[in-house]
Structure 1
């Protein structure tokens, strides 16, 4: 869904858009790690759901157009209750992505659509502007600050048919992201769960630990949560507050591991992008590790009833 680029065609030109319902201001944009990792903002609430923007500073279109573009994708959180998308629900969403022109004092971008469900929580990446052009443009990059936005125009529920969502006219939300310069700060924390098998039938959390003056904990679904299939689900939680969601906000590169206590060949997954922890939120995987692999006695992830988890955090910037 959304804009598509057929062979021999270039990304569409920007057109003037409405002011966004959510604005993401990225300061020190030129200091961003310009690799393949996309960047996820902290979730924002709109029409009763948690959404987030995903920015890819370096994205290449078809081989005929190998120039790297800055792209945006819209994501929706999964979870129980009105703030998360639940299994069996499908929504067709129409929205506009935009980038702010500081000279014109107007937003320019493109319209896109996507059918969201729990297996497709990210829309297609939409090209906004070539990276090289952005970095040289005083119109879109002023004082090394680039401003992105999204305006959700329409939400139609495909399934279940009796469900309806009204697009609300909330006050626009704004997030600021400040990118740190090298060297980045790195933290790690390990916890050994001695009675892991005794708690295997239900979700549990570890004791809270402190990093950077904040409380964190692991959330574990040993048999998987409602979005997984025969896998252990593992998340790192920030024990923040929904009331002041950006009092503490950090952009991080996150790696979670289950340690191999016998051979040292740990099972490790790194988030496929940089993520913002702010307020009461979490990041991780519904399908972290297959249960067959977890219980394989040759791998050393379970020693008796003991299992060791590790979180590694590289601090890239701060959010407010």
Structure 2
């Protein structure tokens, strides 16, 4: 160090510290981003006779557990919202019995997939969402434009196998809760 800079005098340095105390009556949040172990990160849902569900409305997988939370997959075979009749819609749902307590949120980073049986061209979307209260739109997240229905039913695209089975997956990367 250069003595003329004033930081070091007779081989000694002096440092000062100013402390401000702020009184707060607010509340705080804590969040730890917890990666999901590979053994529990993927959940497949095999939907047999998918072609027969085309006019049955929304379908739901059985619930499954990831990071001590129960989840479901929702599929709308004929689409949803603005894409009704044009695209398959696919959503991840925080099971309503598992909705966080008021003022708490569950964060999930995940991939939804529709598998191509030939393993050439899976359709996949990586998503993340803060899941919140019961019976709220914030308890589900996904896409209403997942696979165009023309592609879904085209045998050349490979989404439906010969017996009409469709396989969807959800793969979690992170599941965390804000306290």
Same topology, TM > 0.5:
yes
1:305 to 161, 164, 171: 164
Once the two structures are superposed, the pairs formed by residues 211-230 of structure 1 within 5 Å of their partners are 211-229=66-84, 230=86
Deviation at 1:199, TM superposition (A): 1.2
| Per-residue deviation, 1:104 | 9.6
Larger Rg: 2
Distance 2:78 2:107 in 1: 30
How many residue pairs align between the two structures? Answer: 147
Q: Which has a greater percent of strand?
A: 1
Match of 2:3 in 1: none
Q: Is 1:199–2:53 an aligned residue pair?
A: yes
Q: Deviations along 1:263-311, whole A, 9 cap, x unmatched? A: 342110112xx32234441110122111112112112111131000000
The equivalent residue for 2:153 is 295
- Which residue of 180, 183, 190 maps to 2:44? 190
C-alpha RMSD of matched pairs (Å): 2.8
When residues 299 and 252 of structure 1 are mapped into structure 2, their CA distance, relative to the original with a 3 A threshold, is: same
Structure 2 residue ranges without an equivalent (≥5): 1-20
Residue 54 of structure 2 is aligned to residue 208 of structure 1: no
Gaps of at least 5 residues in structure 1 are 1-101, 106-146, 148-173
Say which structure, 1 or 2, has more relative contact order (CA 8 Å, 6+ apart). 2
Counterpart of 1:178 in 2: which secondary structure?
A: coil
Q: 1:177 to 1:243 in 2, by over 3 A?
A: closer
Distance between the aligned counterparts of 1:263 and 1:220, measured in 2?
21
- Residues in 1 aligned to 2:52 and 2:147: alpha-carbon distance in whole angstroms: 19
Alignment map for 1:143-292 (pairs within 5 Å) = 176-180=29-33, 184-186=35-37, 187-201=41-55, 202-229=57-84, 230-241=86-97, 244-245=101-102, 249-271=105-127, 274-280=128-134, 281-292=139-150
Indicate if the aligned counterparts of 1:189 and 1:311 stay in contact, CA closer than 8 A: yes
State the distance in 1 between where 2:28 and 2:51 align.
42
TM-score (norm 2): 0.70
1:291/1:214 CA distance change after superposition, 3 Å: same
The answer to whether the 8 Å contact 2:50/2:165 transfers is: yes
Matched position secondary structure for 2:82: coil
Q: Tell me which stretches of 4 or more aligned residues in structure 1 moved more than 4 Å.
A: 102-105
Secondary structure in 2 matching 1:276:
strand
